[in-house]
Structures are given as structure tokens and as C-alpha cells.
Amino acid sequence: MEIARHWRLKQQRYGLVGEVCPHCDYKIFPPRDVCPNCGDEAKTQYAFSGKGEVFSFTTIYEAPTGYDANAPYTVAIVKLDEGPMVTAQLTDLGDQPIEIGMPVEMVTRKMRNDGDERGIIVYGYKFRPFGFVPQR
Amino acid sequence: MTTPNPQNSSTLLRPNKPVGIVGYGAYVPRYRLPAREVARIWTGGKGGLPIKEKAVPGLDEDVITMSIEAARNAMARAQIDPVELRAVWVGSESHPYAVKPTSTLVAEAIGAVPNTQAADWEFACKAGTEALVAAMGLVGSGMAHYAMAVGMDTAQGKPGDALEYTAGAGGAAYIVGPAEESLAIINASYSYVTDTPDFWRREYQKYPEHGMRFTGEPAYFKHITEAATALMQAAGTSPADYKWCVLHQPNTKFPQRVAAQLGFSPEQIAPGLLVPVIGNTYAGAAMIGLTGVLDIAQPGDRILMVSFGSGAGSDAFDILVTDKLPERRGRATTTQAYIARRTEIDYATYVRFRGKLQMK
């Protein structure tokens, strides 16, 4: 059981909330309070748009414990529009092929149970194909 | 049982301050189970089908994740700061936890915490509109500027049961605010409830039970008809005054029949009749029917929405579209766009997705 950790990370997991450096405007995810670009303190919260593109991906058939109920699933490195790279599952693919450079958007989904079905449900970000429908 | 006195306007629920919908958002998951697949497994493919197909949530979806997406769509249309919400209410009969609110997680995900009410509502298929009536009260009394009401379900159907054909997934979120900021004004609502045991699920039971034909006349038809009639009489309107009518839709036939009985044409219910292609979304059913209408309605259009929840009751709403709607609806994904996003699955995949396999 890792309740405290799940609780501590909820904002970044549910809403892709990171930080922006007040000195050089560098966007930071996950939040680390120190700007990796200029080295200054960076504690200003910043909610990412959730838009990005697939930088690389792979499909997992032998999933680690806790994720096996969802296998096979695809994990991607997503380059966010604001700059940072995040590793996350892709979802809602249906029979859609994945391509490097494919635009994706963040959705909040069920990741796994903490422990078994008696534990809390852990929610977090995944990405799905963006623009699945033409805008009106 | 007494019939409400339609002449007595105090039976209407009308807030002190005029209120309306400032933002709305739909959500339908991607997967579809055709009704003929259920028939193939359980009846050898014989017999009539109550709908064409139903929406099925993916392995990583539940009422919490689906409510978050609908809520985000509603926020995108309303363009308000989430910290201004004073209530985030989610109505469902498929809350992921028996104890632990859905609503706090939804509120957290959209950035509405901590200065807000949060609560989960339950009233079979009308839990969502129940929250909507409460939101009208909270805003209409001046206690809150904005309140969010969500109706969302991943409905349960016993394998082989009549409800397995239709028990779908989806719903909608609404942000209620002052009428002058609204894309549609809610003139009034009216609620009609009685103790009618047509459908229920006992604690610790996985699937609901229902009273077969009893779910029709004394339950669905009685409550929808009474609520719609009383609202229209108190408001001094007739079906001809409404451009659109949205009804709770457990299958295709029921809303078509009650609409005709009330005097509404097939054209008036068409854009809000989504059950043939997404199934019965329970607490989401009337709510997402209304998003389907708002996606195409024009300023000045009047809408009658009547929900129904087993157990039993109906909430009826008299809604008037304002000139703010056309600009706002383009800010988020439309209901029909979600419906068009479609991957068909077979019964075996459905069994896996819905957790019907005993794994240990």
C-alpha cells in the first residue's frame, strides 16, 4: 500500500500539473522545484495543455504485476507541446495503427489497483489519438 | 396516490434567481457491442432487438474517468475558472467505490478543489437530473455562482438478461450558473416520485433485478407522463411550444411511445434519442440526450427534458436556448462526434472489458 505516494502525486497524475520556471519560462514535468534548464528555483505550478505527439512507442505483452489485466497495451514517450517528454500508456486505440509523430492528447484513466481489488484505484494520465473527430 | 394539482404553480421548482446552463459536455466510450452479438450468444440470434448497439467502456474506464472527460468538456464550453465552482455532484448507479466519493476525484482532476461541495447522487437512472435540480437550487438561491451536475453510468446487465442488450455507458456534465451567462435558461423543473419497485440492486449484488413488464406502465410511462404533463400545465405550454423533447431512454420503443402519447412528433425527439446507437446510459441517458440536442439547437428553441429513475421518479425541465449557444458549442467535442468514434467488439471482448471473467 502506497496511499501517501498516490495522494502526493495526484495533481500531476490527474491533470498533468507541472511547473514553469519563473526565470527562464522553461516548462517542467514532472515537477521538481528546480529548473533543469537554468538551475534556479522553479515552484510555480503550471497545467500542461495535454497535447503532444508520439516520440517513440512499444507494445507490452508481458506486463508487470498490477498491469497484467490490461495487457497487451502500448507505452509511448510523448513529447508535450510545451517541451517535456513523458512516458505514458496510450489508450482508446481501437484498431488504429500508431505512428511516430502522431498527435495525442491526455486523458485521465484507471491505471491499476493499489494491491488487489480491495485497495484504492490508482488514476493517472494516458494519451489517446488527438483529433479523432473533425471540429465543427 | 394523488395526482398533483397542475393548477398549483407551487409544485414547480423555480429558483429565486433565474438560472441556466453555462457549459455542457458529453462523453461516450469508444467500444460498441451490437445487440445482435448478445442475441447470437443467448437466443441463437432469434428475436427482436431493442437497440442497434451499445457503448462499452474500455478496460481503463469507469464513472470517475468518464465524468472527468465530460466535466472537462463542460468547462471548455463554459470558459470559467474551476475554482469558481461551489459544487461538483456526480449522479450514477455505477460509482467505482461503495464508500469513497466519485465527486472529490472529479473535482480534483478539473481543479475545483478545495472550496467546493462534492457529493455522489444515487437514484437509479435519474441520479444525474436530481443533481441538476439541486444545482438549480444552489445557484438560484444565490449560495453559489456556479455548480456542476454530472450524470454518468457504466450500467450493469446480467448475462443473458433483457437488460444486457441495452445497459450502456456514457453521460454528460452540466455547469449551472446565472441565466444571463447561460447558453440555455432552465425556466423551471418539476419532480414526480412514488415508491414503485420496478428495478433495483441489493447491496453486494453485482447485477440488478427488474420487474419485467412492470417496468413499463406503472413505472416508466406513468412517471414520465405525469412529470411532463404537470410541468407543461404549470408552465402553460403544450408540445407544440417545444422545438425538441428529450426523454429517458431505456430502449428505442419506450421513449418513442411515450412521446407520441404526450403529443410530440418523431422529429422533436430525434436528435435527443441516442439509445439506438449508445444503449441506455442510465443516469446519463436524458442528460446526454440533451447534449445531443444542444449540439444542434438554435437560439429561441424551447426544450422539454424528462428523466426517469426506477424506484421511481421523473424530473422534468423547461429549457430555453439563448444566443450564447452557437459560439460555445464548438469549444468541445460534440455528442455525435463521440458516437462516430466507434470500434465494434464481439461478445467475448465485452466479457473481458466488463470484468465478467472470474480470474481467481
Q: Residues B4-17, buried b or exposed e (16+ Cβ, 10 A)?
A: bebeeeebbbbbee
Please determine, for residue A79, whether its predicted confidence score (pLDDT) is greater than 80: yes
The edge-to-edge listing of strands for the beta sheet with B31-34 is: B53-56, B31-34, B343-344
Contact B109 A120 (CB under 8 A): no
- What are the tens digits of pLDDT across the range B266-304? 999 999 999 999 999 999 999 999 999 999 999 999 999
Residue B360: its pLDDT value, please? 74
Low-confidence residues of chain B: pLDDT under 50: 1, 6-7
- What are the tens digits of pLDDT across the range B37-58? 999 999 999 888 999 999 999 9
Residue A132: its pLDDT value, please? 66
Residue B1: its pLDDT value, please? 47
Query: Which residues 3-42 in chain B show a CB within 8 A of chain A?
Result: 30-31
How many Å apart are CA A65 and CA B317, to the nearest integer? Answer: 49
| CB-CB neighbors (< 8 A) of A115 in chain B | none
Please determine, for residue A133, whether its predicted confidence score (pLDDT) is greater than 80: no
pLDDT band (50, 70, 90) for residue A2: confident
pTM for this prediction: 0.96
CATH class of A3-129: mainly beta
Cα radius of gyration (chain B): 19
The Cα of A79 is separated from the nearest Cα of chain B by a number of Å equal to 22
Query: How far from each other are the two terminal CA atoms of chain A, in whole angstroms?
Result: 45
Peptide bond into B29 cis (omega under 30): no
Residues of B classed as catalytic: 93, 125, 248
Q: Residues B276-315, buried b or exposed e (16+ Cβ, 10 A)?
A: bbbbbbbbbbbbbbbbbbbbbbeeebbbbbbbbbbbbbbb
Q: What is the mean pLDDT of chain A?
A: 93
Residue A96, all three cell numbers: 488504429
- ipTM over 0.90? The verdict is yes
Contact B111 A94 (CB under 8 A): no
How many Å apart are CA B85 and CA B37, to the nearest integer? Answer: 43
Please determine, for residue A7, whether its predicted confidence score (pLDDT) is greater than 50: yes
Domain architecture of chain B: domains with CATH: 19-183+328-353 (3.40.47.10), 186-324 (3.40.47.10)
Task: Search chain A and give the residue with CA nearest B355.
Answer: A69
